[in-house]
Structure 1
Amino acid sequence: MNDPKLYEVVNRLMSESMHLQNGESVCVVTDTERLPLANVFRDVANEYNSDPILVVMAPRQQHGSEVSNIISAAMMKSDVVFQVVTHAMTHTDATRDAMQAGSRILVLRGITKDLMLYGAINANYKDIAITCQKVAEFMGQAKQAHVSTDAGTDLVMSIDNRTPHILDGIVKGPGTFAAMPDGETAISPAEETTEGNLVIEHSMDGLGLLDEPIHLTVVKGRVASIEGGQSAQMLKQMIDRSDKDANNIAEFAIGTNPKARLIGNLAEDKKLEGSVHIAIGDNHVLGGNVTSNIHLDGMVLNPTVELDGKCIISNGKLQLE
């Protein structure tokens, strides 16, 4: 990939999102499907005298799948890690261990040339940081969240004593991570507290664009039933062939990026300003107590969100003033 605009964007990510310093050690983790883009990251990192290493693996089967000990060790020994991958490594022991070792990580899951050049990645991330912080303040003060939609979502969960995580595209320092494109504030609901009906619309990790909405019944923080079309059946199969905690309600997050598009790729879809995404599976990277080998985000569109009765999203419009 010799597009000068692509090299310009990657250089901006390294300087503005990662704050890469001259001479820092860099590890670019990728898979065979994303190798051309990863090579751009390696080339640009070379300009920072980082002597980057490029680690190439086979694509993981799904989001949240662990990587080899060799890849984990390379990440832990690096000042900076760029994850240019098909399936997200965010919710893995390898990423958690690297952050605990002090590595700074930028996650680029499902990244494509289109995502690198258009849409959410071109937003004003200083403004997004302000929005994320406002959402985090509301989340951090609340004990209970209620999410509802005209499509049928009616979900209540406890977020008491849980820490909101701001993902505004800026890696804050050693032991932290961000994503690109970015723009969300996420929190892990307390285990066994989420109750109600969840309707996933448009797209979901591992499924892409849905053939029709997926209707999930949630009881005591677990998915108890799944109904819908072919996409729903595929989701059920993914959960059934995974581990016992794959049906855990793991994450409640609010998108904050006004430039994000709905394109069927969760890397950008879930950043859409005023949207919600709910994840199932692993929550330990977000401060929870459940470990699973999957973490799948699903879109909730045009939601109304109340935190302790205060409306902060009304039919997909942020209400933060």
Structure 2
Amino acid sequence: MATLDEAARIAMRDVLGLRPGEEVLIVTNFEPDVFSIARALVDNTKALGGRPTLLVQETKEPHMPTERIINEAVKAEPHVLILLPALSSGNDPFGLHTGYVGRDGRLYRGIMDKLIEGDRRIRSFWSNRVSVDTFRRCVAIDYGPIRADAARLKRVLDRGRMVRVTSPAGTDVEFSIKGRKAFLEDGDFSLPGTGGNLPAGEVYVSPAVASAGGTMVFDGTISLENNDVFPSTPVRVELKDGYVSTITGGLGAAGLRKTIESGESEAAERGMQEERRNARHIGEFGIGLNPNAMLIGNMIEDEKALGTAHFAIGNNFDNDASALIHQDCLMLSPSIWVDGRPIMKDGVLVRF
């Protein structure tokens, strides 16, 4: 296995494509794992000729605001922004209540999203709750095969209209992707306007609004309000008119219901009716591609595991179904068809 220093060098050199003289802003907490990774990234930024700045804030939960000075530093538009929170980086109060308009004319709920997606001025990666073990194992990899598979899947999804997903646990769901474009987290964040998780290894798409129907059964990791869990009993989610209607299946189901209801309540308290409704919307469908990723009970790694797929309940990535939550939920060994064409069978990619 690679050392932490080697993984940090690969992240800065091969993933971000750091150039001499570029400014790199790293935001983290003092928790041992993320702070150790941040220090390794600082050292390797300097070794590659970059100019790092390290900011440390107290650990935030998703409902807590990011420190004002952090948002002001992001507004300075460093070439590279890296977020390494032990739990969450917090939220952007101005973005939530007012929003930022990007150069593309769209409204964004956070300054980082505006600068990456809307203005295409900076590049970034974010690694919530990542451990040193995950970073060493899943970042120091050969990105060639992942990028090839991701590009191939994106071409199919970009041309596609309807997706069907089944799984041995009982999933059988269909949704439209007509007019949507898939997103890549293939470990190439070297150009302004690009960014994603590290570890990387995922292709994902936002289902068309209110188009999903059927049954989703999650027999892998699910993300709850403040933690990720592997449910002892699979969680069964029924959809009606594109939204979650019922959730059954033991403690995991109870936790997911509570998380969704919390997202609804927070949106209602803020008078955000669209966000309240979309706390039950299907915001994402993703396919894992990282061969080194395993199911460890941490979604930053688990959703990248080869042979898995996941749906997210809540906010989507096309900015037409905004929500205050985004809860990834994993299914094992899925089979996937796009317009009747198989792209995965029982968790194995179909070569095409």
TM-score of the alignment, normalized to the shorter chain, above 0.5: yes
| 1:65 CA drift (Å) | 6.9
Identity of aligned residues (%): 27
Query: What stretches of structure 1 move > 4 A for 4+ residues in a row?
Result: 88-92
Which has the larger displacement, 184-193 or 226-235?
A: 226-235
Which residue among 305, 308, 312 is the counterpart of 1:272?
305
Question: Residue in 2 aligned with 1:152?
Answer: 170
Which residue among 14, 19, 27 is the counterpart of 2:17?
19
Amino acid at match of 1:82: I
Question: Residue in 1 aligned with 2:95?
Answer: none
Contact map agreement 1:75 1:103 (CA 8 A) in 2: no
Distance verdict in 2 for CA 1:15–1:73, change over 3 Å: same
Matched, 1:105 2:106: no
Other structure's SS at 1:261 match: coil
Matched, 1:93 2:110: yes
Question: Residue in 2 aligned with 1:58?
Answer: 58
Measured in 2, the distance between the counterparts of 1:170 and 1:135 equals 16
Which residue among 276, 286, 309 is the counterpart of 2:340?
309
Measured in 1, the distance between the counterparts of 2:61 and 2:234 equals 23
Matched, 1:143 2:177: no
CA RMSD of aligned residues (A): 2.2
1:170-195 CA distances to partner (integer Å, 9 max, x unpaired)? Answer: 10411110321111111000111011
In the TM superposition, 1:25-64 aligns within 5 A as 25-33=23-31, 34-62=34-62
Contact map agreement 1:279 1:295 (CA 8 A) in 2: yes
What is the number of residues matched between the two proteins? 315
Amino acid at match of 1:107: W
In the TM superposition, 1:218-257 aligns within 5 A as 218-242=239-263, 243=267, 244=276, 245-257=278-290
Contact map agreement 1:305 1:313 (CA 8 A) in 2: yes
5+ long unaligned stretches in structure 2: 92-107, 268-275
Other structure's SS at 1:280 match: strand
| 1:301 CA drift (Å) | 0.7
1:147-185 CA distances to partner (integer Å, 9 max, x unpaired)? Answer: 111211111100000010111011041111032111111
Question: Residue in 1 aligned with 2:135?
Answer: 116
TM-score, structure 2 normalization:
0.83
Measured in 1, the distance between the counterparts of 2:50 and 2:190 equals 20
Contact map agreement 1:188 1:288 (CA 8 A) in 2: no
Measured in 2, the distance between the counterparts of 1:230 and 1:32 equals 32
Other structure's SS at 1:109 match: coil
Other structure's SS at 1:305 match: strand
Matched, 1:198 2:211: no
Amino acid at match of 2:69: I
Contact map agreement 1:226 1:236 (CA 8 A) in 2: yes
Matched, 1:281 2:280: no
Measured in 1, the distance between the counterparts of 2:297 and 2:256 equals 16
Measured in 1, the distance between the counterparts of 2:162 and 2:64 equals 30
Distance verdict in 2 for CA 1:240–1:231, change over 3 Å: same
In the TM superposition, 1:64-79 aligns within 5 A as 67-76=66-75, 77-79=77-79
TM-score, structure 1 normalization:
0.91
5+ long unaligned stretches in structure 1: none
Amino acid at match of 1:53: T
Measured in 1, the distance between the counterparts of 2:327 and 2:86 equals 13
| 1:107 CA drift (Å) | 1.8
1:210-233 CA distances to partner (integer Å, 9 max, x unpaired)? Answer: 232111111222111111111211
Matched, 1:293 2:328: no
| 1:309 CA drift (Å) | 0.7
Amino acid at match of 2:78: S
Other structure's SS at 2:156 match: helix
Distance verdict in 2 for CA 1:121–1:37, change over 3 Å: closer
Question: Residue in 2 aligned with 1:217?
Answer: 238
